[in-house]
């Protein structure tokens, strides 16, 4: 048992740091630089260590327990990624260094681009965008630039399925384009008839379509070829939301399925840390016709300065680039981790990732679906969506089930998304979890279903064993207070 967290630990005269001896002559700081009124806490080293260790224990993380947050791919982040990205030659780089001095970093970026090209089936990749949503914005701006380049300025519509992640319509709107929503059919695919009608009605104005495949129901769209063909026939382009690439690695390539541009979430599929708004990376892959519009710069081999085996890597701007979407070159630390992960697994290992991710999701679904109804009940990919609601316990909701899972030591799944499933619980086990963990999680869910019938207040009042109980989550997200103020 740890002591309750007390923030006010300061006591005059205590100090946790010892400064090294001066190796330059002492001199006075210029007037005005010293703030006498800065209320820095004065604490001992032990106070400091306990404070931060205690804080870290109040947090939940992949390294602490099972984290089946659907659509987020909270897989284990191998520690070798951290070792590699902390090598001094990577960690101490400065973005203003000359290309001659950073050839190792450019090598990593170049080959990461090459690996992502191969994995996605694309002609070129830019590593610039800093997140999935940022990759979406980049891709849609590229699609729009392509249409303008063809003299098709009247094209201002993007089709988005009703199962899409909220960032898809948000991206469209941010790009100054109109969203037309396409419903799903009874098997969880894009409704082909509705898509046909939308293409007929808006064909002249079509910039393209955004499609997540597998979609946010965890289902592979059975008509993906027909969809991409239809959109292309009407002069549109296909944007692939690659958040769910974990299900496809080494098995299917979006470029081969007809997608023109796609973002990868390095912080999901390629095992780099995420959560809490930490640094992500959303590189974008493009087909031949969109490659020239990629954000600048990308890393290429310099034909002039390359001599035999002596390859010189350089930054290049694609000829019709939409420009920069990020300062400097993107999140290099994240790239170094993803590069390590890909090299560590190799092609066969990446394919096994997808196979086990899909196997784990289907296993878990089969264990709970008699109790938690699965509205689109077919073989799933890397995740599935069930309903957190029971007809014989109508006052219990998905949120109550999720909060109760915390008492069992699990992070809740994604709640209430996708919007087309009432009381949605979106569960993504990932490939890195063992059968024992999946069984413990399934057992907890089944036990919670019994509790819902026997003692629903146990769920309504959950969590009982967490540092905080139920929060106003909207206020917590919108009015973040990240700094403690002394009273
Ligand atoms: C399907 C889907 N698309 C896009 C995104 C946005 O990705 P990011 O959070 O990296 O911006 C997410 C994130 O959860 C997602 O699940």
The per-residue pLDDT for range 130-172, each reduced to its tens digit, is 999 999 999 999 999 999 999 999 999 999 999 999 999 999 9
pLDDT at residue 276, as a whole number: 66
Strand (E) or helix (H) holding 425:
strand 424-427
Distance 102 CA to ligand 1 centre (A): 31
Strand duo 261-264 + 237-242: pairing: parallel
Distance CA 41, CA 455 (A): 47
Domains for the chain: give ranges and CATH numbers: 80-342 (3.40.640.10), 347-474 (3.90.1150.10)
Does the beta carbon of 243 lie inside 6 Å of ligand 1?
yes
Q: What are phi and psi of 157, to 5 degrees?
A: -120, 135
For 122-157, give one letter per residue: b (16+ CB within 10 A) or e. bebbbbbbbbbbbbbbbbbbbbbbbbeeeebeebbb
Distance 12 CA to ligand 1 centre (A): 47
**What span, in angstroms and rounded, lies between the C-alpha atoms of 60 and 189?**
34
**CA-to-CA distance for 358 and 130, rounded, in angstroms?**
27
Rounded to an integer, the average pLDDT of 387-413 is 97
Q: Is the shortest distance between the CB of 112 and ligand 1 below 6 Å? A: no
Q: How far is the CA of 391 from the centre of ligand 1 (A)?
A: 32
- What are residue 245's phi and psi, to 5 degrees? -60, -20
In short, whether 414's Cβ falls inside 6 Å of ligand 1 is no
Q: How confident is the model at residue 6 (pLDDT cuts 50, 70, 90)?
A: confident
The answer to whether 79 and 86 are in contact (CB under 8 A) is: no
From 50-59, 254-263, 284-293, 298-307, the region with the lowest mean pLDDT: 50-59
142's CB contacts (< 8 A; 6+ apart) are 261, 284, 286, 290, 293, 294, 295, 322
Q: Is the CB of 280 under 6 A from ligand 1?
A: yes
**CA angle (347 as vertex; 343, 353 as ends), nearest 5:** 95
CA-proximal residue: ligand 1, atom 10 (nearest): 132
pTM for the whole thing?
0.93
Query: pLDDT digits over 271-310, tens only?
Result: 999 876 568 999 999 999 999 999 999 999 999 999 888 9
The pLDDT value recorded for residue 1 is 46
Confidence of residue 487 (pLDDT cuts 50, 70, 90): low
Give the Å distance between the CA of 136 and the centre of ligand 1: 9
* The pairing of beta strand 206-212 with beta strand 157-161: parallel
Sign of CA dihedral 36, 40, 41, 42: negative
DSSP summary character for residue 52? H
Span 45-49, average pLDDT: 95
Minimum-distance ligand 1 atom for the alpha carbon of 133: 11
Do 161 and 146 form a contact (C-beta atoms < 8 A)? no
b/e sequence 251-272, b meaning 16+ C-beta within 10 Å:
ebbbbebbbbbbbbbbbbbbbb
What's the CA-to-centroid distance between 134 and ligand 1, angstroms? 9
């Amino acid at each position: 048992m740890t002591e309750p967290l007390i923030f006010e630990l300061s006591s005059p005269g205590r100090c946790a740091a010892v400064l090294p001896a001066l190796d330059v002559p002492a001199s006075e700081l210029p007037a005005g630089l010293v703030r006498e009124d800065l209320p820095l806490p004065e604490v001992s080293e032990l106070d400091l260590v306990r404070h931060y260790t205690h804080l870290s224990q109040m947090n939940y993380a992949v390294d602490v327990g099972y984290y089946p947050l659907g659509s987020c791919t909270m897989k284990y982040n191998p520690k070798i990624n951290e070792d590699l990205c902390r090598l001094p030659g990577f960690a101490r780089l400065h973005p203003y260094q000359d290309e001659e001095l950073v050839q190792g970093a450019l090598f990593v970026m170049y080959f990461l681009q090459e690996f992502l090209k191969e994995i996605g089936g694309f002609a070129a990749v830019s590593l610039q965008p800093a997140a999935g949503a940022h990759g979406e914005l980049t891709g849609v701006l590229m699609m729009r630039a392509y249409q303008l380049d063809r003299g098709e300025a009247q094209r201002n519509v993007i089709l988005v399925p009703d199962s899409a992640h909220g960032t898809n319509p948000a991206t469209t709107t941010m790009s100054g384009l109109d969203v037309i929503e396409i419903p799903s059919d009874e098997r969880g695919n894009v409704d082909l008839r509705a898509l046909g009608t939308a293409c007929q009605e808006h064909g002249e104005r079509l910039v393209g379509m955004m499609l997540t495949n597998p979609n946010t129901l965890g289902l592979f769209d059975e008509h993906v070829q027909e969809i991409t063909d239809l959109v292309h026939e009407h002069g549109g382009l296909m944007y692939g939301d690659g958040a769910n690439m974990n299900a496809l690695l080494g098995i299917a390539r979006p470029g081969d399925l007809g997608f023109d541009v796609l973002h990868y979430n390095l912080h999901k599929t390629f095992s780099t840390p995420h959560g809490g708004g930490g640094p992500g990376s959303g590189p974008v892959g493009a087909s031949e016709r969109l490659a020239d519009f990629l954000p600048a710069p990308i890393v290429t081999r310099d034909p002039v300065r390359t001599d035999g085996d002596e390859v010189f890597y350089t930054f290049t701007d694609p000829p019709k680039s939409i420009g920069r979407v990020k300062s400097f070159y993107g999140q290099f630390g994240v790239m170094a981790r993803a590069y390590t992960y890909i090299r560590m697994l190799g092609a066969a290992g990446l394919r096994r990732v997808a196979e086990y991710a899909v196997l784990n999701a289907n296993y878990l679904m089969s264990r709970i679906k008699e109790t938690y109804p699965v509205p689109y009940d077919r073989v799933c990919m890397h995740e599935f969506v069930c309903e957190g609601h029971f007809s014989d316990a109508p006052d219990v909701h998905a949120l109550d089930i999720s909060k109760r899972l915390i008492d069992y030591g699990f992070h809740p799944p994604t709640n209430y998304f996708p919007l087309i499933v009432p009381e949605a619980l979106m569960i993504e086990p990932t490939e890195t979890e063992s059968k024992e963990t999946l069984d413990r999680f399934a057992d907890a869910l089944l036990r919670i279903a019994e509790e819902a019938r026997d003692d629903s207040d146990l769920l309504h009042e959950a969590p009982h064993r967490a540092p905080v109980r139920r929060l106003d989550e909207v206020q917590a997200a919108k009015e973040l207070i990240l700094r403690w103020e002394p009273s």
